[in-house]
Amino acid sequence: MSVREVKLLGDPVLRKRANEISVEADIKLPDQVRSLIADMFDTMYAEEGVGLAAPQIGESVRVIVVDPHEEGIAPFALVNPRILSFSDEVDRAEEGCLSLPGLREVVERPLQVVVEGLDREGQPTRIEADGFVARILQHEVDHIDGIMFIDRVSPLKRKMLLKKWQKVKPDEE
């Protein structure tokens, strides 16, 4: 497996709704999807992240990987994840993004979510998450919908973040 280049704000792939992966019932995921998941984990760990969506490495498909580095929570991948429900209770916490290195801002999100998708073996799975894991899931599902965390802050904060991005973004090669 391999570490892939993380796409940065400005790359069109980050702003498109990613395509669902077609999976036939009772058949394990195709090898290319399993390989993509392995590359995503390798890339996420190399970049010291806690989550990664396929568009962030240039693949416009609905796949995310998560590792909150919390005791009792094993790293996991979701194919075609869907958030089924959000709690009414919200939490405000700072977020960053591998596609916006150097930027962080407080984002308000529901405290709990229920998500369905396929696991890395292609089996249906349902995750009920709260706190940090719920935040990661929402952040990554946003990515596969073409939404970035800067879209979840006030227009004034977004303008300030974009101005800062112009100063801190890595040079184009």
The residues carrying an active-site annotation are 140
Q: What letter represents residue 99's amino acid?
A: S
Q: What is the DSSP string of 132-150?
A: HHHHHHHHHHHHHTT--GG
Which string of b and e fits 36-56 if b means at least 16 CB within 10 Å?
Answer: bbebbbbbbeeeebbbbbbbb
Residues 6+ apart with CB under 8 A from 64: 40, 51, 52, 53, 54, 77, 78, 81, 137, 140, 141, 143, 144
Query: Measuring CA to CA, which residue among 77, 61, 82, 81 is closest to residue 119?
Result: 77
Nearest to 52 by CA among 93, 87, 83, 81: 81
